[in-house]
Amino acid sequence: MLQALLEDFLELHEVRVSVMLEHRFVAGMDVKGADVTVLGLGQDYRQLFMTLARQSDAVWPVAPESGGILQALCQVVADLGKRLLVSPADAVALAGNKYQTYLRLCQHQIATVPTRLLVDAEAEAEAEAGEWVVKPIDGVGCDGNRIVHDLAGVKASVAELRLWVVQPHFSGRKSSLSGLFKQGQAWLLSYNLQEFTVVDSGYRLTRIIVNYQTDDGGYQRILQAIAAAIPGLWGYVGVDLIETDAGCWVLEVNPRLTTSYTGLKQALGINVADLVMQLHQQDPPKLQFLTSQPIQITL
């Protein structure tokens, strides 16, 4: 994801790009054309990030929501008065919390996968047959998820129950939406098909087909409903869906780069980083894709 973002920025000749990389990632990145600052072993990433942000005009943090990391970095950028190229800290805090996201989407009558705090879910689960998915409340991707039948056993192994959520295990097509958001408005970029395998009772993402099919308007309406429900969302945002015979359900809202970003330029012929930069001055122009083809990403 970072490589794709860098390539987009390096196409913008009026922009000078600076990137902070942990030392482990330097060898695997092509950063020619960017100013690179390496985070050394044991060095405080927060202090180095603040130093680099202070020297910049605009900042795009690439980090997980887990443990409030992305939220804290976004707050640093805001406190420094710099231009933030992702959602602000309060929107990240909401969208990064799966339970709070569920409550907010329900308030706006958006179909979303039922989500309970693990500490509250056992009685409800015992009353219904079926499988359950347990995951960290602020987990990224498939990190930490488990498919279970016995919630009591899971609860016995988890230290802080309120940091975990449980959802019914829905069968159906797993997909995602890539979009641009700004002040309660949303613009769909692509509909993406996601393929998973189950390893050690947990989902693992194996393949994404970016721009899998065109939209007849329904997916744009989902994005717009989410934008109205969480008006603080800004810039590139990914939305995970589960599509069943009973309907289309929102699973998660990701206020950050997602893996699908890596295929957007080849699929659509557009520079998404440029579009995000433009959002500070204006809404994106009517999106005109130079091409439209499905692009496969294998993980």
Residue 181 pLDDT greater than 80, yes or no: yes
Cβ atoms of 22 and 14 within 8 Å: the answer is no
Residue 143 pLDDT greater than 80, yes or no: yes
Average pLDDT over residues 240-268: 97
Tell me what pLDDT residue 127 has.
46
Per-residue pLDDT band at 156 (split at 50, 70, 90)? confident
**At a CB cut-off of 8 Å and minimum separation 6, what does 276 contact?**
60, 85, 180, 235, 236
C-alpha count within 13 angstroms, C-beta hemisphere, residue 276: 27
Tell me what pLDDT residue 179 has.
98
Top-tier CATH class for 93-111+172-298: alpha beta
* Residue ranges covered by each domain of the chain: 2-81, 93-111+172-298, 116-168
- Going from the C-alpha of 139 to that of each of 52, 87, 93, 128, 163, the distances in angstroms are 27, 18, 12, 26, 10
Average pLDDT over residues 162-171: 91
Tell me what pLDDT residue 297 has.
97
Give the three-state DSSP class for 71.
Answer: helix
Tell me what pLDDT residue 178 has.
98
pLDDT digits (tens, 9 = 90+) for 20-55: 999 898 888 899 999 999 999 999 999 999 999 999
Residue 165 pLDDT greater than 50, yes or no: yes
Cβ atoms of 194 and 176 within 8 Å: the answer is yes
